[in-house]
Copies of this chain bind each other. A is one copy, B any other.
Amino acid sequence: MSVLVGPETKVVVQGITGHQGTIHTRNMKSFGTEVVAGVTPGKGGSTVEGVPVFNSVQEAVRATGANATTIFVPAPFARDAFIEAVDAGIPLAAIITEHIPFHDMLSMLYYGRVHGTRIIGPNCPGVATPGPAKGSKIGIIPNMIFRPGRVGVISRSGTLTYEIVNSLSEAGIGQSTCIGLGGDPVPGTTFVEALEMFHNDPGTDAVVLVGEIGGVAEEEAADYIHSRFGKPAVAYIAGRSAPSGKRMGHAGAIISRGRGTAESKVEALTRAGVHVARFPYEIPDLVRQVLHGG
Contacts and interface: CB of A to CB of B under 8 A. Distances in A.
- The A interface is mostly helix, strand or loop, or mixed, namely helix
Contacts of A113: 114
A77 interface: no
Contacts of A114: 110, 113-114
A113 B115 CA distance: 11
Interface residues of A, number: 3
Nearest to A114: B114
Total copies of this chain within the assembly: 2
A110 B113 CA distance: 12
A110 B110 CA distance: 10
Contacts of A110: 114
A39 B231 CA distance: 47
Interface in A232-248: none
Interface string A106-149: 00001001100000000000000000000000000000000000
A113 B110 CA distance: 12
Interface in A65-120: 110, 113-114
Nearest to A110: B114
Nearest to A113: B114
A113 B111 CA distance: 12
A110 B115 CA distance: 11
A94 to B, nearest CB: 24
A109 to B, nearest CB: 11
A211 to B, nearest CB: 29
A21 to B, nearest CB: 33
A127 to B, nearest CB: 26
A115 to B, nearest CB: 11
A130 to B, nearest CB: 36
A195 B30 CA distance: 52
3 contacts: A110-B114, A113-B114, A114-B114
